[in-house]
């Protein structure tokens, strides 16, 4: 058997003279002629050795053409003396492009006319400097992370102690509560005896007047409810315009409507409250005449306020309807304008019904009789808790006992909530491997990106704030609240932010890259209202194992030399 | 949507944002366009039937030669005379004294031109559409010589008939053409071998509104003022529209008049046929948001070219008018008097209605498909050769955010080995939608970014729209304003202002040649900061789109240069903008390189300036299917370089739809993926496997076949033939294929049967026409036509077949971009036909310059017969070679044929003898693919593409 090392088919000064162009030196033993033949590396065929690098693909695996672009699946090896070797896809050989990112020695363009000088000296040096810097950054990041988890260990211990302390206080509080309850019960027994006398007097008035007062209250309450509903519907329309309109359209009428909405929200919050209907006077009939009188007064005041609010809202919507620009096809504006007419008709019907109800009840006479009932009640001594300076101290005694109990209950509830929150944090919250996020949870970091400032509060929330607000307060959009980790603990998801016009709720995905200090590097919006943040921070750095960390306490150098062992975060978490 | 009551309020608010459909009420119906309604009603009166041609006897049912319509228009006695190549006649309405001058001209190619307007119009009518559309502004059309025309006049049945017989240079019909004009009522028939082919006014629908003074007192509704929704058209010129019926005897199918989202074979709009439209096809360039499929509504472009086809002949009509135009179509059976008995013969009757301008109609007699395209192209020119990169894969999105985003698209393409040529930027790259500027925060160094892309052969396309932000600080606006380059208000006093992307805007008036030139200059490399020679342009919104205008466009009474109303020029606006941009790009370098400009609006002639696409489609299967007839219709009408947004512009395609869309999109002449700003990102690598692999495979197939595509463009640039072709174009005698618009041909050699159903198990019906072999391009499995097969296509499969008898040139090296393939060797695929022969072409030039005009190209005729493959220079190759050609051949001297694959050989052969330049050498033959043993591979014949050579198999 004759073994021959065949020289280059095509001259290339940079490569060792015995090499086949583009061949991985590790495979040199395979690129030898055996009986004048080359065996494809996958063993699929044997071809005459002169067909290696003859710019025609013979082997199914592309191995016969390591130095040309002939094989679709071929690869080209460049030695890159002065830097690390590279492997280039065959399609990039001799295509006229110096692929310095892979072949800094320029050997990929040996037959294309492209002049690719060897730049490995410069590129290699730059890469080494870059790698050294990255290594240093990673080491610093790991050290910082180690410090964080060390701190977290101590912090957790402190917090656990605090939790135990809180629990003890809660137990003690329970006993104090029981005593206060007993004191209140005694005081209330005394109070009830006194109240019985007054109750009889009021009952006499009630027997004669309750029907009138109840009828009056029901009428007024019904009117108030109707107005509440009307106001809420109008507010919803105007809110739809204020929040849903496309400000890019620059429609003056729509802008005015939105401004009016904001104005009302500031000066008459109830006018635009979205749970307003629930706050309307109910239809539960108070059996107690005094409560009934008070309810009637409240209902009347409520009705008058709602009426005023509704008038203002209606005015704003009518102005919009008459003034908006139809050509913009702003869906939000169109929806409001289209819904306005039916709403006005509904309101007219409700008013007619109210007038009819008043007539049927002979409202004026009824109002007079209610006034008389109020006068009669006023003549009876006020209830004991109405005046703290009452010389009869039985009532105030019970009042004080109740107040003391309430205070204690409130304290106890608050202490319970504190303890629960702390327990949830310590026992039911994913704080990353070895509590890496415990100490930094809620820390906020910002990026000023020209038009907007981005704010990410770790494991809490994210926001976008306009920086060039033209007068007034800068618009602030929530980009969501923390909604969990992504593929691993270096990806944070924030979701459920404010809704985009004609789009989804804003959300942000933060991906961490390893660095010692936390800083928001970049925020982009690759899809509408879906933000991506790149954040530097130690959380993406290698987390030294606890043993390493213990060693590191003694010798920092050791840690630096062992950072190549990767610690899988999940494993570390399990160890916790 | 109409909802009332408070309870529904929430529903209104939520539904309002969810509704996704065209806002039909934004666009006019024929009834809302007064002139259309007038002509349509007139036609009904003449046909004595609402919605003709429902019959009812009378004149409407007879359009044979001797039949008479009830047309009130007749030729004035004694007015007919022949002057040079033109027959002149006066025609007048029986009730008025306003004679119309008709000019019937004869071109040497057989084309007949018919023009009409008042003999003495009260005011000039707009007659410059010919200037903007026709070759050399229509000044030097190749008219027939007087001696080739013979006029004879006779009287038949009491009516005078004038016949012009003439000879033609086209087709096999020399001497067989004649035009017959009947005087009372007037009608014109183009006959081939004495058989009517195209008839004008045979139905009597001709109606011409002569210009008039505004009468005192009440005026008829819609004639002197017209209101649509909130817009009022002042119509100072009064009524000036005209209409004409054009009938195609013996035909059942007509095609063309894009752009509509409707089937390839145009549907009836009259006559109450099942599945008919109730509106005419409309030609009026409009920005239609979320357009509907299967609808004759106007879209972004208009080409008033219609082809009619029967198994016997193909003819065509160009209605050269740029004003709003409506076209009614009716398919009908016509009774003709035969020798002894009546027989039914089909005809398609069309009714063309235009609002303004002069009547100017070209009749193309064919008789073959190539003849019609030759006749059309001699008037309106062909599609020029594009830059090679333009045929590659374009990746666009509204919007790639910034330089890092653009470069990451570039990097991901490389990382995933997806070849691509161009990355696109939509409007957000600008500083506040001020075109020719960059958002400095997002694109601080655009030239460096382009250089980075160009390093790997990639280009950048940026959008430049025709609306100019009204901002005195904005140089472009200020300059155009100072020079008076903007479109004017109706009274001509001020600049028209409207709304578009930047807000308050003005529009450059390209009818002012100085303005068009000035716009072109803005593309100068020194003028357009941040532009480099690898930056190209996308002209969008050029219908023009005006957000607050009638039908989202300009008011018709606006004034253009020369005092012409927008009404008369509307459909030209987009093309003139496209032209100004293309000229600007061409002029920015010396020697000039070919420009690339994509336009949304277009008109007959736009093919000269670049590519077009089907506008804002949607990510659903129906739009995927609709893209085929839409692109075919554009190709039928000479708009060859056409595509549809791959993936669909609106909405989010799922991975399956996107994969199928790429598998179809690689067969669009213009292949671009694009997406709306509200959509999820959908670049191929985001789809995951197996979709990424399937998409990459499809795109690689496009790149592999780029030499074939480029050769097709070369042919189109010379012959005017479509690139992608309806089946009937390639198989003109196969009646069953006349309405086929799912399957189509890419050039003469490749048949594509798109998979457009989400269920991969649902088979696609593929008709293999003719007595010919067809080869699956991937497996080389053979199908013997004629044959209909149901074929299931797995998600990775495209149903693409090579026609037996074809030779298809390919390049199989995997490069990052088309421009990096210029020096690559070729692989030829010989698909042996049933007679044992095959033929094909290969055209190569530098892919960017105009040197090919001086002969710097290689063009080969490849033929295979009797086991012998031969490459000969094409007839267009000068002999001896010109200096330019010799220089180019020298440049390409290293470029060889690295492989020949012969598919469909019946006898196994073992040896190939190669003869080139007097040398002779032998190579062995290999066979590959265990399944198909008839696939023979000639290993590296190494013949040079520029040389004459032959390979003999033995």
Residue of chain B nearest A241, judged by CA positions: B13
Rounded to whole angstroms, the Cα distance separating B682 from B666 reads 17
Residue of chain B nearest A246, judged by CA positions: B17
Smallest Cβ–Cβ distance between A95 and the set B5, B820, B899 belongs to B820
Q: Which of A88, A147, A144 is nearest to A116 (CA)?
A: A88
Q: Which of A274, A242, A273 is nearest to A260 (CA)?
A: A242
Distance of CA A221 to the CA centre of its chain: 41
Mean pLDDT of B45-52: 75
Residue B939 with chain A: CB contacts under 8 Å: 56, 58
CATH class of B28-380: mainly beta
Please give the DSSP secondary-structure letter assigned to residue A430: -
Who wins on pLDDT, A51 or B147? A51
Distance of CA B108 to the CA centre of its chain: 25
Residue of chain A nearest B819, judged by CA positions: A95
Query: Are A462 and A494 spatial neighbours (Cβ–Cβ below 8 Å)?
Result: yes
> Among positive and negative, which fits the CA dihedral B452, B454, B459, B460?
positive
Mean pLDDT of B702-718: 98
Q: In what order do the strands lie in the sheet with B773-776?
A: B724-725, B744-746, B750-753, B799-803, B773-776, B782-784
Residue A58 with chain B: CB contacts under 8 Å: 939
Who wins on pLDDT, B634 or B779? B634
Query: Are A534 and A559 spatial neighbours (Cβ–Cβ below 8 Å)?
Result: no
Q: From the candidates B5, B6, B552, which should be mutated to test the interface with A, based on the most A CB atoms within 10 A?
A: B6
How distant is the Cα of B32 from the closest Cα of chain A, in angstroms?
A: 18
Residue A502 with chain B: CB contacts under 8 Å: 17, 678
CB atoms B816 and A95 under 8 Å: yes
Rounded to whole angstroms, the Cα distance separating A401 from A379 reads 29
The token pair that represents A562 in the structure block: 């062992």
Q: Tell me phi and psi for residue B365, to 5 degrees.
A: -80, -10
Q: Quick check: helix, strand or coil at residue B909?
A: coil
Residue pLDDT, tens place only, B671-680? 999 999 989 9
> Measuring CA to CA, how many Å separate B410 from each of B404, B428, B458?
10, 19, 9
Residue A451 with chain B: CB contacts under 8 Å: 441
For chain B, give the number of residues.
954
How distant is the Cα of B929 from the closest Cα of chain A, in angstroms?
A: 12
CB atoms A56 and B23 under 8 Å: no
Q: In what order do the strands lie in the sheet with B422-425?
A: B642-643, B611-613, B597-599, B535-539, B459-463, B422-425, B393-395, B671-673
Q: Following DSSP, what letter does each residue of A358-421 receive, concatenated?
A: HHHHTHHHHHHHHHHHHHHHHHSPPPGGG-TT-S-HHHHHHHHHHHHHHHHHHHHHHHHHHHHH
Pairing of strands B422-425, B459-463: parallel
How distant is the Cα of B713 from the closest Cα of chain A, in angstroms?
A: 24
> Among positive and negative, which fits the CA dihedral A523, A526, A531, A533?
negative
Distance of CA A554 to the CA centre of its chain: 41
Query: Are B844 and B862 spatial neighbours (Cβ–Cβ below 8 Å)?
Result: no
Residue pLDDT, tens place only, B154-206? 987 777 999 999 877 765 554 589 999 999 999 999 999 889 999 999 999 99
The interface predicted TM-score (ipTM) is: 0.88
Rounded to whole angstroms, the Cα distance separating A84 from B415 reads 20
Residue of chain B nearest A75, judged by CA positions: B814
The token pair that represents B696 in the structure block: 């990459």
Encode chain A (576 residues) as per-residue pLDDT tens digits: 444 444 334 434 344 445 799 999 999 999 999 999 999 999 999 999 999 999 999 999 999 999 999 999 999 999 999 999 999 999 999 999 999 999 999 999 999 889 999 999 999 999 999 999 999 999 999 999 999 999 999 999 999 999 999 999 998 888 888 888 888 888 888 878 777 777 788 888 888 888 888 889 889 988 888 888 889 889 888 888 888 888 777 788 888 888 888 888 888 888 887 666 666 777 777 778 888 888 888 888 888 888 898 889 998 999 888 888 877 777 788 888 888 888 888 888 888 988 898 988 888 888 888 888 888 888 886 665 544 444 455 557 888 888 889 999 999 899 899 899 999 999 999 999 999 999 999 999 999 987 889 999 999 999 999 887 666 667 888 999 999 999 999 999 999 998 887 778 999 999 999 999 999 999 998 888 899 999 999 999 998 887 766 655 544 333 333 333 333 333 333 333
Residue pLDDT, tens place only, B442-461? 999 999 999 999 999 999 99
Annotation: CATH topology of A440-543:
Cation-dependent Mannose-6-phosphate Receptor; Chain A (2.70.130)
CB atoms B816 and A91 under 8 Å: yes
Q: From the candidates A240, A339, A341, A499, which should be mutated to test the interface with B, based on the most B CB atoms within 10 A?
A: A339
Domain B727-953 architecture: Sandwich (2.60)
CB atoms B815 and A236 under 8 Å: no
Q: From the candidates B7, B13, B25, which should be mutated to test the interface with A, based on the most A CB atoms within 10 A?
A: B13
Return the number of CB contacts < 8 Å for A and B.
Answer: 104
Rounded to whole angstroms, the Cα distance separating B240 from B170 reads 36
How distant is the Cα of B231 from the closest Cα of chain A, in angstroms?
A: 10
Domains B28-380 and B727-953 in one fold: yes
- Our answer to whether residue B216 is catalytic in this structure is no
Task: Name the band, by pLDDT with cuts 50, 70 and 90, for residue B333.
Answer: confident
CB atoms B816 and A335 under 8 Å: no
CB atoms B9 and A339 under 8 Å: yes
Residue B848 with chain A: CB contacts under 8 Å: none
Residue B17 with chain A: CB contacts under 8 Å: 244, 331, 502
Residue B825 with chain A: CB contacts under 8 Å: 55
Smallest Cβ–Cβ distance between A339 and the set B12, B680, B823 belongs to B12
CATH class of B392-467+509-553+567-704: alpha beta
| Residue B5 scores a pLDDT above 80 | no
Task: Name the band, by pLDDT with cuts 50, 70 and 90, for residue B7.
Answer: very low
At A278 the pLDDT is 64
**Cβ-count burial A282-291 (b if 16+ within 10 Å, e if not):** eeeebeebbe
Rounded to whole angstroms, the Cα distance separating A546 from A576 reads 10
From chain A residues 108-127, the ones with a CB under 8 A of any chain B CB are: 112
Residue of chain A nearest B455, judged by CA positions: A97
Cis peptide preceding A189, ω within 30 of 0: no
Q: Tell me phi and psi for residue B579, to 5 degrees.
A: -65, -45
Query: What are the residue ranges spanned by the domains of chain B?
Result: 28-380, 392-467+509-553+567-704, 727-953
At A2 the pLDDT is 44
Give CATH 2.70.130.10 domain extents, chain A.
440-543
**Cβ-count burial B99-121 (b if 16+ within 10 Å, e if not):** bbbbbbbbbbbbbbbbbbbbbee
At B338 the pLDDT is 45
CB atoms B230 and A327 under 8 Å: yes
Q: Which of B120, B372, B403, B356 is nearest to B238 (CA)?
A: B356
User: Is A240 an interface residue toward B (CB < 8 Å)?
Assistant: yes
From chain A residues 492-511, the ones with a CB under 8 A of any chain B CB are: 502-503
CB atoms A332 and B16 under 8 Å: yes
Residues belonging to chain B with any Cβ–Cβ distance to chain A shorter than 8 Å: 3-6, 8-9, 12-13, 16-17, 23, 230, 401-402, 404-405, 417, 441, 455-457, 499, 503, 547-549, 677-681, 812-816, 820, 823-825, 898-899, 939-940
Q: Tell me phi and psi for residue B230, to 5 degrees.
A: -100, 5
Residue A91 with chain B: CB contacts under 8 Å: 417, 813-816
- Our answer to whether residue B328 is catalytic in this structure is no
How distant is the Cα of A554 from the closest Cα of chain B, in angstroms?
A: 44
Q: Which of A99, A50, A44, A91 is nearest to A71 (CA)?
A: A91
Q: Which of B904, B878, B728, B650 is nearest to B801 (CA)?
A: B904
Residue A233 with chain B: CB contacts under 8 Å: 6, 9
Cα angle at B84 between B81 and B90, to 5 degrees? 30
Distance of CA B495 to the CA centre of its chain: 33
CB atoms B16 and A89 under 8 Å: no
Q: Which of A344, A333, A335 is nearest to A258 (CA)?
A: A333
Smallest Cβ–Cβ distance between B13 and the set A56, A229, A335 belongs to A335
Residue of chain B nearest A93, judged by CA positions: B815
Smallest Cβ–Cβ distance between B441 and the set A248, A450, A524 belongs to A450
Q: Quick check: helix, strand or coil at residue B750?
A: strand
Rounded to whole angstroms, the Cα distance separating B832 from B821 reads 27
């Amino acid at each position: 058997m004759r073994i021959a090392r065949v020289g280059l088919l095509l001259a290339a000064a940079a490569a060792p003279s015995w090499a086949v162009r583009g061949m991985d030196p590790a495979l040199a033993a395979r690129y030898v002629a055996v009986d004048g033949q080359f065996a494809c590396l996958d063993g699929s065929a044997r071809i005459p050795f002169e067909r290696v690098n003859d710019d025609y693909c013979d082997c199914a695996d592309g191995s016969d053409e390591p130095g040309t672009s002939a094989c679709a699946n071929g690869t080209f090896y460049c030695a890159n003396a002065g830097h690390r070797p590279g492997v280039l896809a065959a399609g990039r050989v001799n295509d006229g492009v110096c692929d310095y990112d892979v072949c800094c020695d320029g050997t990929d363009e040996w037959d294309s006319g492209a002049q690719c000088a060897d730049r490995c000296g410069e590129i290699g040096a730059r890469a080494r400097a870059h790698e050294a810097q990255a290594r240093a950054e990673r080491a610093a990041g790991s050290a910082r992370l180690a410090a964080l988890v060390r701190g977290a260990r101590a912090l957790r211990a402190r917090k656990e102690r605090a939790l135990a302390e809180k629990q003890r206080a809660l137990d003690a509080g329970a006993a104090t509560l029981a005593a206060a309850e007993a004191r209140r019960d005694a005081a209330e027994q005394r109070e009830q005896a006194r109240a019985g006398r007054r109750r009889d007097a009021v009952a006499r008035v009630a027997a004669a007047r309750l029907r009138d007062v109840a009828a009056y209250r029901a009428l007024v309450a019904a009117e108030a409810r109707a107005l509440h509903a009307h106001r809420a519907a109008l507010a919803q329309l105007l809110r739809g315009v204020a929040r849903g309109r496309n400000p890019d359209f620059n429609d003056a009428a729509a802008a005015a409507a939105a401004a009016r909405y904001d104005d009302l929200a500031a000066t008459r919050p109830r006018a635009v409250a979205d749970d307003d209907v629930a706050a309307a006077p109910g239809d539960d009939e108070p059996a107690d005449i005094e409560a009934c009188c008070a309810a009637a007064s409240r209902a009347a005041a409520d009705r008058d306020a709602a009426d005023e609010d509704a008038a203002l809202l209606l005015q704003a919507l009518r102005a919009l309807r008459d003034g908006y620009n139809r050509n913009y096809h702003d869906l939000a504006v169109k929806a409001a304008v289209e819904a306005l007419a039916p709403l006005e008709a509904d309101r007219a019907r409700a008013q007619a019904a109210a007038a009819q109800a008043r007539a049927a009840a002979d409202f004026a006479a009824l109002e007079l009789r209610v006034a008389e009932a109020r006068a009669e009640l006023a003549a009876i001594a006020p209830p004991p808790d109405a005046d703290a300076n009452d010389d009869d101290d039985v009532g105030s005694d019970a009042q004080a006992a109740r107040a003391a109990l309430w205070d204690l209950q409130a304290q106890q509830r608050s202490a319970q909530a504190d303890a629960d929150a702390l327990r949830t944090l310590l026992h039911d919250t994913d704080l990353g491997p070895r509590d890496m996020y415990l100490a930094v949870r809620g820390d906020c970091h910002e990026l000023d990106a020209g038009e907007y400032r981005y704010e990410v509060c770790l494991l809490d929330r994210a926001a976008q704030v306009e920086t060039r607000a033209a007068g007034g307060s800068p618009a602030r959009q929530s980009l969501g609240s923390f909604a969990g980790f992504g593929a691993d603990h270096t990806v944070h998801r924030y979701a459920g932010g404010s809704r985009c016009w004609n789009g989804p709720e804003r959300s942000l995905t933060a991906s961490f890259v390893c660095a010692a200090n936390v800083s928001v590097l970049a925020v982009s919006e690759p899809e509408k209202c879906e933000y991506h943040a790149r954040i530097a921070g130690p959380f993406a750095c290698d987390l030294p194992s606890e043993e390493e960390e213990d060693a590191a306490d003694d010798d920092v150098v050791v840690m630096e030399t062992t950072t190549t062992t990767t610690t899988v975060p999940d494993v570390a978490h399990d160890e916790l | 949507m109409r909802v009332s009551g408070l309870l529904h309020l929430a529903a209104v608010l939520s539904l309002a944002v969810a509704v996704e459909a065209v806002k039909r009420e934004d666009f006019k119906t024929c009834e809302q366009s007064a002139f259309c309604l007038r002509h349509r009603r007139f036609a009904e009166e003449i046909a004595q039937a609402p919605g003709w041609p429902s019959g009812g006897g009378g004149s409407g049912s007879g359009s044979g030669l001797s039949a008479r319509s009830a047309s009130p228009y007749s030729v004035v006695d004694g007015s007919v005379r022949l002057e040079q190549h033109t027959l002149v006649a006066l025609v007048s309405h029986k009730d008025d004294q306003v004679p119309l001058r008709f000019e019937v001209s004869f071109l040497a190619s057989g084309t007949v031109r018919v023009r009409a307007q008042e003999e003495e119009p009260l005011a000039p009518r707009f007659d410059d559409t010919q200037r903007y559309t026709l070759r050399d502004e229509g000044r030097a059309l190749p008219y027939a010589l007087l001696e080739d025309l013979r006029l004879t006049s006779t009287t038949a049945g009491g009516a005078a008939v004038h016949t012009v017989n003439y000879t033609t240079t086209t087709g096999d019909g020399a001497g067989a053409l004649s035009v017959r004009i009947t005087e009372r009522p007037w009608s014109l028939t183009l006959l081939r071998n004495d058989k009517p082919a195209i008839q004008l006014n045979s139905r009597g629908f001709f109606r011409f509104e002569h210009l008039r003074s505004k009468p005192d007192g009440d005026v008829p509704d819609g004639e002197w003022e017209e209101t649509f929704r909130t817009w009022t058209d002042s119509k100072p010129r009064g009524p000036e529209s005209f209409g004409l019926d054009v009938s195609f005897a013996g035909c059942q199918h007509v095609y063309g008049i894009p752009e509509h989202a409707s089937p390839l074979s145009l549907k009836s709009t009259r006559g109450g046929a099942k599945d008919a439209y109730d509106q005419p096809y409309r030609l009026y360039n409009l920005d239609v948001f979320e357009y509907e499929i299967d609808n004759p509504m106007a879209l972004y472009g208009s080409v008033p070219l219609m082809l009619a086809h029967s198994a016997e002949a193909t003819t065509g009509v160009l209605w050269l008018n740029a004003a709003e135009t409506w076209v009614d179509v009716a398919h009908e059976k016509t009774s003709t008097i035969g020798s002894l008995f009546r027989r039914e013969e089909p005809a398609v009757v069309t009714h063309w209605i235009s609002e303004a301008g002069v009547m100017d109609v070209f009749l193309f007699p064919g008789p073959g498909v190539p003849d019609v395209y030759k006749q059309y192209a001699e008037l309106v020119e062909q599609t020029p050769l594009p830059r090679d990169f333009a045929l590659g894969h374009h990746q666009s999105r509204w919007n790639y955010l910034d330089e890092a985003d653009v470069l990451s698209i570039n990097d991901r393409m490389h990382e995933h080995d997806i070849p691509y040529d161009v990355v696109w930027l939509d409007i957000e790259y600008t500083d506040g939608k001020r075109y020719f500027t960059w958002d400095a925060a997002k694109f601080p160094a655009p030239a460096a970014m382009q250089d980075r892309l160009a390093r790997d052969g990639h280009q950048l396309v940026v959008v430049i729209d025709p609306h100019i932000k009204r901002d005195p600080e904005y140089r472009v606006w200020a300059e155009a304003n100072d020079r008076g380059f903007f479109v004017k208000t109706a009274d001509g006093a001020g600049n028209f202002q409207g709304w578009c992307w930047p807000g308050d805007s003005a529009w450059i008036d390209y009818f002012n040649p100085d303005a068009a030139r000035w716009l072109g200059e803005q593309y100068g490399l020194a003028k357009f900061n941040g532009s480099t020679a690898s930056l190209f342009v996308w002209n969008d919104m050029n219908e023009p789109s005006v957000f607050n205008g009638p039908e989202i466009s300009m008011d018709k009474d606006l004034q253009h240069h020369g005092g012409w109303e927008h009404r008369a020029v509307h459909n030209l606006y987009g093309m003139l903008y496209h032209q100004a941009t293309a000229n600007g790009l061409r002029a920015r370098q010396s020697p000039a390189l070919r420009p690339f400009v994509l336009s949304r609006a277009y008109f007959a002639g736009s093919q000269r300036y670049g590519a077009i696409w089907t506008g804002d489609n949607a990510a659903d299967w129906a739009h995927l299917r609709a893209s085929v007839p839409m692109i075919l219709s554009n190709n039928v009408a000479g708009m060859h370089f056409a595509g549809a947004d791959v993936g669909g512009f609106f909405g989010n395609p799922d991975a399956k739809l996107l994969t199928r869309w790429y598998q179809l999109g690689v067969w669009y002449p213009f292949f671009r993926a694009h997406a709306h700003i509200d959509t999820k990102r959908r670049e191929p690598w985001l789809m995951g496997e197996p979709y990424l692999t399937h998409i990459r495979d499809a795109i690689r197939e496009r790149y592999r076949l780029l030499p074939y595509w480029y050769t097709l463009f070369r042919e189109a640039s010379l012959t005017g033939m479509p690139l992608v072709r309806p089946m009937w174009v390639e198989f003109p005698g196969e009646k069953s294929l006349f309405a086929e618009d799912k399957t189509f041909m890419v050039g003469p050699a490749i048949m594509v049967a798109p998979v457009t159903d989400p269920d991969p198990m649902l088979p696609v019906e593929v008709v293999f026409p003719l007595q010919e072999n067809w080869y699956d391009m991937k497996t080389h499995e053979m199908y013997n036509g004629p044959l209909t097969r149901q074929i299931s296509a797995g998600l990775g499969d495209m149903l693409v077949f090579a026609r037996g008898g074809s030779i298809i040139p390919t390049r199989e090296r995997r490069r990052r971009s088309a421009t990096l393939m210029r020096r690559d060797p070729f692989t030829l695929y010989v698909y042996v036909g049933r007679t044992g022969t095959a033929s094909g072409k290969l055209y190569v030039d530098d892919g960017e310059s105009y040197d090919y005009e001086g002969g710097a190209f290689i063009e080969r005729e490849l033929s295979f017969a009797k086991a012998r493959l031969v490459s000969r220079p094409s007839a267009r190759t000068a002999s001896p070679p010109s200096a330019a050609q010799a220089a180019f051949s020298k440049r390409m001297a290293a470029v060889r044929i690295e492989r020949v694959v012969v598919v469909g050989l019946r006898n196994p052969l073992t040896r190939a003898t190669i003869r080139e330049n007097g040398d002779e050498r032998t190579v062995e033959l290999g066979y590959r693919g265990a399944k198909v043993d008839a696939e023979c591979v000639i290993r590296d014949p190494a013949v040079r593409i520029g040389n004459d050579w032959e390979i003999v198999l033995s």
